[in-house]
Amino acid sequence: MALNTLADVFAFIDISGKEYKPYYKLIEEKRALPRYVYKCLKDEYICDNVKDKLACYPLQSDCEAIYENGPRTDGMYMISPDGRCPFLVYCHMKNGGWTVIQRRVDGRVSFYRPWDGYVSGFGDLDGSFWLGLEKIHRLTRDGSQIYFDMENYDGSRDYAHYNVFTVYEAATAYRMNVDTFGYRGSIIELLSYHDNQKFSTYDRDNNASSSNCCKDRDGGGWWYKDCYKLGNFNGVYGKRELGGIGYGDGGHLQIKNVEIKIKAMYGVC
């Protein structure tokens, strides 16, 4: 039995339809499913202890693997990239299954968050959210594509697609590596400006800028350098000036909505 969907998980832990609903809400709002699943498995909340059970009930490693195993519907799925603690993600099943790591569609979720928030993730997987650096690291450690899907204020769309993207482990302050090989996009290539940068938040300034890119520019956490080109996607929603969501290319270009998604890379190196 594969635990790909929420329904699979709840079937597995044998919760009736009635009891299902409040926990579903809990998952959406508090991201509390793993702890609850473990509890139901009569286990401690220690990832290693669950490993054997995960092996018995294998999770898929990402949205692409789920896609290849059948489900083709956009939505929330349970994954484990490495056999360790499973977590929920939002999958875009167009073009073979992309795992969404960030989305901005409204101002209901504040992205001005401290380091710990950016590490563990926050928001609503159905709405605006940041998946979390530790999860992004686990998803990209073996190399990943990354796709930025941007909606401008005039309704037009832009994109930027990289074939090589990795986020390193916590000890490196989640340093990011990007390669421009095979870059495709409707905007000029800008992410390489951030290559090899550590992640910064307002309470953890890991960048070369003499300013605090987050505090001074309302940035919500990024692989800032001095401070950004691509981009300020975790900036203030709806702010149409410096500090708002957007990117810099000799000036700050505002965008309304953005979605960032990843998929394993292969056949490009």
Q: Closest Cα partner for 92 from 117, 55, 125, 53?
A: 125
Binders of Ca ion among residues 177 to 206 (CB under 5 A) are 205
Binders of Ca ion among residues 201 to 220 (CB under 5 A) are 205, 207, 209
- The b-or-e profile of 146-175 (16+ CB within 10 A means b, else e) is bbbbbbeeeeeebebebbbbbbbeeeebbb
* Nearest distance, CB of residue 204 and Ca ion, angstroms: 10
Residue number, nearest CB to Ca ion: 209
Nearer to Ca ion, 74 or 205 (CB): 205
Nearer to Ca ion, 28 or 205 (CB): 205
DSSP output for 176-211: EEEE-TT-EESS---GGGGTTPPPBBTTB--SS-SS
Q: What angle do CA 232, 234, 239 make, to 5 degrees?
A: 75
- Per CB under 5 A, does 8 bind Ca ion? no
Nearer to Ca ion, 73 or 211 (CB): 211
The answer to whether 246 touches 231, Cβ cutoff 8 Å, is: yes
Spatial separation of the C-alpha atoms in residues 68 and 188, rounded to whole Å: 32
Q: Beta partners for 98?
A: 92
Nearer to Ca ion, 11 or 208 (CB): 208
* Nearest distance, CB of residue 211 and Ca ion, angstroms: 6
Nearer to Ca ion, 139 or 214 (CB): 214
* Nearest distance, CB of residue 214 and Ca ion, angstroms: 9
* Nearest distance, CB of residue 207 and Ca ion, angstroms: 4
Helices (H) and strands (E) in the chain, counts: 8, 12
* Nearest distance, CB of residue 260 and Ca ion, angstroms: 23
* Nearest distance, CB of residue 32 and Ca ion, angstroms: 34
Judged by CB under 5 A, how many residues of this single chain contact Ca ion? 3
CA 148 to chain centre: 12
The answer to whether 189 touches 158, Cβ cutoff 8 Å, is: no
Nearer to Ca ion, 79 or 227 (CB): 227
Q: Which residues bind Ca ion (CB under 5 A)?
A: 205, 207, 209
